[in-house]
């Protein structure tokens, strides 16, 4: 069955430090991969997505993610974290039904805290 694992439930980093959030997926076909961010009381905002092509994708707010097929991973990175990045981050895989990616399977999320 398809699944997404985010091993880190909670991460704390200092402002200005680098960040890497881990995401592993289980899916038999070529996945569509997404990272969303959710601030308290808000809906999910798309940070970036991977459909095909270059395995290093750039997103909004200075985030990037790298797709590694051999490791079934799609880790999210940011070189320097800002206090406003404190939020919950969700990795998701889009199931590819004949070219359509209409079903998203989400991980359980990683809650990021940023220390001043």
Select the residue interacting with other proteins from 41, 53, 70, 116 (CB under 8 A).
41
Q: Is 33:56 a contact under the CB 8 Å cutoff?
A: no
Round to whole Å and give the CA distance between 83 and 96. Answer: 36
100: contact with other proteins by CB under 8 A = yes
Q: Which is nearer to other proteins, 22 or 49 (CB)?
A: 49
Q: Is 67:74 a contact under the CB 8 Å cutoff?
A: yes
Q: Is 108:9 a contact under the CB 8 Å cutoff?
A: yes
N- to C-terminal Cα distance for the chain?
41
Q: Which of residues 60-99 bind other proteins (CB under 8 A)?
A: 90, 92, 96, 99
22: contact with other proteins by CB under 8 A = no
Q: Which residues bind other proteins (CB under 8 A)?
A: 4, 32, 34, 36, 41-46, 49, 51, 90, 92, 96, 99-104, 106-109
């Amino acid at each position: 069955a398809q699944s997404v694992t985010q091993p880190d439930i909670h991460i704390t980093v200092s402002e200005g430090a680098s960040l890497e959030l881990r995401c592993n997926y289980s899916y038999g076909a070529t996945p569509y991969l997404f990272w969303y961010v959710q601030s308290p009381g808000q809906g999910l905002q798309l940070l970036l997505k991977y459909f095909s092509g270059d395995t290093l994708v750039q997103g909004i707010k200075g985030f990037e993610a790298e797709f590694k097929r051999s490791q079934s991973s799609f880790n999210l990175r940011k070189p320097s974290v800002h206090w406003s990045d404190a939020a919950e981050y969700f990795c998701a895989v889009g199931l590819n039904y004949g070219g359509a990616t209409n079903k998203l399977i989400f991980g359980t999320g990683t809650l990021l805290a940023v220390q001043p």
